[in-house]
Amino acid sequence: MHAATFATVFAALYVAHRVGDHWVQSSCQAADKGKPGWTGRLADTRHVVRLTVTKLALLLPVALLLDLHLTAAGLVLGLGVDAVTHWWADRRSTLAWLAKVTGKSEFYSLGTPAHPAHPATAVGAPAAHLGTGAYALDQSFHHVWLLVAALIIATV
C-alpha cells in the first residue's frame, strides 16, 4: 500500500511543483528571490508559500478521490521539508555554491555569457536558447526533495 501511495503522492507533487514553480510564481518573485537581504528573502518566502499551497491544493483532492490514507503529520513534515529545501535552493547563491563545491560551476553557467561556450549569434550577440545549467540544476535539486517529501507523506 505504501508503494502505491508514494507513487500517487509523488506524481501529484511533481505536477503541482511544475504548476507552482512556473504558473503560480509571480514575475516579481522570480526576479527578486535571489536578491541579497530581506528583499530576496521575502520574495522567496512568498514564492514558497504560494508553491506549498499549490502542492496542498492539488494533492488533497487526489488523496480524497483515490482514498489515500495520509496523516496530518506526514503532510506537515513532508511539505515542510520540501518548502525549506526549495527556499534554500531558490536563494540562488546557495545553489551556485553547491554547484561550485560539487564541481558543477561550468554546467551551472551553461546558457549564459559566463559559460566559455555560451550561445551566440553569427555577429556575437547572445543567442536565444531553451534554458540554462542553473535552471536544470535547480529543478533536479527540487525533484530530489519532492521524492523525499513523497516518501515522508506516504509513510508517516
Which amino acid appears at position 76 of this protein? V
Q: What is the pLDDT of residue 61?
A: 97
Grid cell listed for 107: 554546467
Looking at residue 30, what is its pLDDT?
A: 87
**Alpha helix stretches (DSSP H) within the chain:** 2-19, 27-32, 37-65, 72-90, 93-101, 105-108, 133-155
Please list the ranges in the chain whose pLDDT falls under 50: none
Strand-pairing partners, residue 41, are none
Q: What is the pLDDT of residue 46?
A: 97
